[in-house]
Amino acid sequence: MSAQRHDDDWQLRAACRGPHSAAFYPPTSLERRDEKSAREARAKEICRTCTVKEPCLEYALKIRENHGIWGGLSEAERRNLVASRA
Ligand code: SF4
């Protein structure tokens, strides 16, 4: 099994697959601050129960993903985590 294939395995078990996925990224139209907070809270609640939270977060950190909720953290929270690990 290649490393790329291994990376993909956790994605198959992601709790955010399917109809929930819209909560994880901002809409294409303008989003108010309170709407963003509510959307991110919904996404983080799904992440809280996700069995692949750890590999998801590490993957997002590895590819320096700049958008969306990954592994229960927003883009700003991931930046802070990277800074704290440095
Ligand atoms: S931790 Fe969150 S973003 Fe990552 S796969 Fe699970 S539900 Fe999706």
Break the chain into its structural domains and give their ranges: 3-85
Residue 19 pLDDT more than 90? no
Q: Is 31 helix (H, G, I), strand (E, B) or coil?
A: coil
pLDDT of residue 2: 39
Give CA–CA dist 69/24, Å, rounded: 5
Between 32 and 5, where is the model more confident? 32
Computed from CA positions of residues 66, 69, 70, 71, in that sequence, does the dihedral angle turn out positive or negative?
positive
pLDDT of residue 3: 44
**53: Cβ below 6 Å to ligand 1?**
yes
Known binding positions for [4Fe-4S] cluster:
16, 47, 50, 56
Q: How confident is the model at residue 6 (pLDDT cuts 50, 70, 90)?
A: low
Side-chain half-sphere exposure of 18, counting CA atoms within 13 A: 5
Region 13-35 average pLDDT:
93
